[in-house]
Structure 1
């Protein structure tokens, strides 16, 4: 081999080595492991076990932006907390609550969510005090702030999801439902409940859905990457766009 050819090969060698190592390095990048509450339209599992939903899409979008593989587990609220506690997942999107603070730390606001209350037609609801003496359904384990949660004059009833809540409402087993606006209206549409079957809704409060990171996540560099990545998605309006897509065609409240 002549000297000129040898020099050309040596000059190319670092690039060839980098190309050979790149797939291996990418394969070893830590995946984004997230839990999503099984509440439509945020987290959905179809009959084949495939996961989808607004928050599932947000985490998948985050993974693509950070160049990391994504693993999303859609599960009931109580199980998502257990997954955070064990370290099986690293993050969750949810409103703050005492239960979440035991297993995770807040890592930045992601989306402003209106909590609404609604009852059957003829139910006159305009403020929290109008719920006094009524049985009000909410999803098991959720927390909608102290003004509602600590009001002893309200009879709280926990349900699996808003669909179950509406079924009980129409059967007159409960008097009202409380929950995030998209989830409540999504369940109403799914069951085919007409708007004139329900009374006027009112806004209980507006709270920030937060990114929560498991207390078992000790890799601060990785945690900082997740915080920055989610903050960038919010700043670019991409999270609002996903929520808007899943809210399209919902009944007017």
Structure 2
């Protein structure tokens, strides 16, 4: 009887060892999930309905750098923050803001983004104080620094994307559109808006887009790996190359 039990245990031993090792193997290849704001050219759907855009490509590069899959989830800004808060996604690329600071930790600068203010042709704008008394639209949840955000004389209006903002600007429902330079000019090209239809632009501020990691992300080793991978992409110019590709042919001023 004892001999039979011993043989049974020996026969099962390889399977037991494989089962014990499985969680460690799974942890090594754990897929990462990233939220990408659906704001062109950073996040959008291509002609086949697949997720694309500059930030999508950056996360694809990160996955190759790390040797592990990165699943990209496209979402509006508020939804992306909710996904970070719940831990359903691990990370996101965005400019710093009080809203994202509540749900994620900054994990390193990725690239520098200049925000501009632009109105209709004939609207003289040279500095932030020129926006006082005007209806100024920006994408919901974005933050362009205290001088702009805290000026009570500016009538802030939140929009879903730059395409909506340009429509409202040309229809005279708002006076000024504020947003990242590539995003505004990309939307102009998409809508066929001529540069002559809009006035001169001035910079509201320039800030680093950061990699933000969910506060629910509790794997310190993997978090360090992600930060290292993103830093490598920035150092060797691969992120700048992606941004340049999506900015190609856009107006410079």
**TM-score (normalizing by structure 1):** 0.88
- Partners in 2 of 1:154 and 1:134 — Cα distance? 6
> SS at the partner of 2:249?
coil
Using the TM superposition, give the Cα deviation of residue 33 of structure 1 relative to its aligned residue in structure 2, in angstroms.
0.7
User: What's the counterpart of residue 41 of structure 2?
Assistant: 41
- The equivalent residue for 2:231 is 231
In the alignment, what sits opposite 2:155? 155
1:39 counterpart SS class: coil
Q: Secondary structure at the match of 2:79?
A: helix
Secondary structure of 1:93's counterpart equals strand
Match of 2:200 in 1: 200
- Residues paired across the two proteins, number: 231
Match of 2:115 in 1: 115
**Structure 2: gaps of 5 or more residues:** 1-20
Distance 2:176 2:201 in 1: 10
In structure 1, distance between residues paired with 2:104 and 2:27: 27
The equivalent of 1:87 in structure 2 is 87
**Alpha-carbon distance, 1:229 to partner:** 0.5
What residue in structure 2 maps to residue 129 of structure 1?
Answer: 129
Residues 4-62 of structure 1 show CA distances to partners (whole Å, capped at 9, x for unaligned) of: xxxxxxxxxxxxxxxxx9xx948960112100000000000246431000000000100
Distance in 2 separating the partners of 1:189 and 1:170: 14
Cα RMSD of the aligned pairs, angstroms, is 1.5
Shift of 1:160: 0.7
Contact 1:189/1:251 (CA < 8 Å) preserved in 2? no
The question of whether the paired residues in 2 share the 8 Å contact of 1:127 and 1:204 is answered with yes
Structure 2 distance, partners of 1:28, 1:110, is: 25
Q: Is the 8 A contact 1:94 1:212 kept in 2?
A: yes
Asked if structure 2 preserves the Cα contact closer than 8 Å seen for 1:95 and 1:207, the reply is yes
SS in 1 for 2:61: helix
The alpha carbon displacement at 1:251 in A equals: 2.5
Deviation at 1:70, TM superposition (A): 1.5
